[in-house]
Amino acid sequence: MDDMKQGWKKIPFDDSIVKVKYTTKIPSNDYLEQGLYPIVSQEEGLVSGYWDNANDVFKVSTPVVIFGDHTRILKYVDFDFVLGADGVKILQPIESINAKFFKLYLVSCKIPSLGYSRHYKLLKELQVPIPPREEQERIVAELDCLSGIIEKKKQQLKELDALAESIFYSMFGDPITNEKGWEVKKLEDVCRIINGYAFSSSDFNDSHPIKAIKITNVGVNEFINDDSSLPIVYNNKNDYKVHTGDIVLALTRTIISTGLKRAFVPKEYNDALVNQRVAAIIVDSAITNKNYVYSFLGTEFVRKYVLSHATALMQPNLSIKDLRELPIMFPAYNLQQEFASKIEAIEKQKALIKQSIAETETLFNSRMDYYFN
């Protein structure tokens, strides 16, 4: 152990937290869009919804860490909240551990995915490092500074996305009312829709030659890279193959608190195969524009359509049939092209910001490795 880590000790995970009394967990289909008390769940985003019953509030006297037992998502919470449904674990660190330091350590552990299974058992195997309290606070301050820079840049991305949305509504109007009277078609009339293939879970690993796109790759306006791949025997599955710039959309939990799960296929996934519960939208560039279609999918009209056609009570799933029948406004092609030009200019600005984020994240990760690995 180097000089910086002198005075550190390790204790079993179970000894690093105190037991808490859980309040009522609220099913996700009961969440309110507005209310008195924020709901914290295992989903992405700090707050998943709202609730009005004060009897269900978990009182936070000292900050806690929320762990998603299924999702592995970690959150630092320093306010009173209501628990979201199944899968939320409240971790109250002992007095000698700073809650932010505790969360940073758990993030550094990179808990492996067990699928939609329980992951808390993996935390119980950990030995938690405890430096002196002042050292914890110094580490937190340094990493918070880097995180703050990253978050500011991510906010810039959100502002550019808001600008793109504003341009869409200015040029085409609100799809809910279609006040400009555009022709309306089914999505399948202007795009080819691919329903993902049910590959065997045993076929996936990180050493096969063919990239696969699974539901975990599709985030909200974000493609999430991983190492999942398929054996060469599947190379003839051309009906399930996508290319750079195609659109992929999650059919399970299509909408979460932060928006609709859709993304463009990145160049690293050119010729990838689409797995089950992922749809690919292949735009016919002769009649419509992919940037227009992608932006349309992010509108409130589509959100309401998905929720009205949800096939599960607890989570908004979308059938491939309903996706194909999704009504889409069809403005003049030259207007779509004009819109696409504006979006491409915005995307160039976003690319520069994303590069800066990547560089800062590299520095953040190197400091995390220095302290925790």
Over residues 98-114, the pLDDT tens digits come to 999 999 999 999 999 88
Tell me whether residue 2 is in a domain.
no
Task: Report the CATH number that the domain containing residue 141 is assigned in CATH.
Answer: 1.10.287
Instruction: Note whether 338 and 243 are same-domain residues.
Output: no
What is the pLDDT, as a whole number, of residue 1?
A: 41
CB 230 within 8 A of CB 203: yes
CB 254 within 8 A of CB 306: yes
Tell me whether residue 308 is in a domain.
yes
Q: What is the pLDDT of residues 162-177, one digit of tens each?
A: 999 999 999 999 999 9
Instruction: Note whether 142 and 196 are same-domain residues.
Output: no
Domain count of the fold of the chain: 3
pTM confidence score? 0.79
First to last CA, the chain: 11
Tell me whether residue 142 is in a domain.
yes
Residues of the chain with pLDDT under 70: 1-4, 312-314
CB 229 within 8 A of CB 210: yes
Q: Who's near 120: CB < 8 A, 6+ residues apart?
A: 67, 69, 89
Instruction: Note whether 161 and 188 are same-domain residues.
Output: no
Instruction: Note whether 202 and 306 are same-domain residues.
Output: yes
Tell me whether residue 1 is in a domain.
no
Its domain, for residue 221, covers 183-330
What is the pLDDT, as a whole number, of residue 115?
A: 76
Tell me whether residue 3 is in a domain.
no
Tell me whether residue 155 is in a domain.
yes
Q: Is 115 left (phi over 0), alpha (psi -120 to 50) or beta?
A: left
Tell me whether residue 218 is in a domain.
yes
User: How far apart (Å, rounded) are the C-alpha atoms in residues 42 and 65?
Assistant: 11
What is the pLDDT, as a whole number, of residue 219?
A: 94
Instruction: Note whether 307 and 266 are same-domain residues.
Output: yes
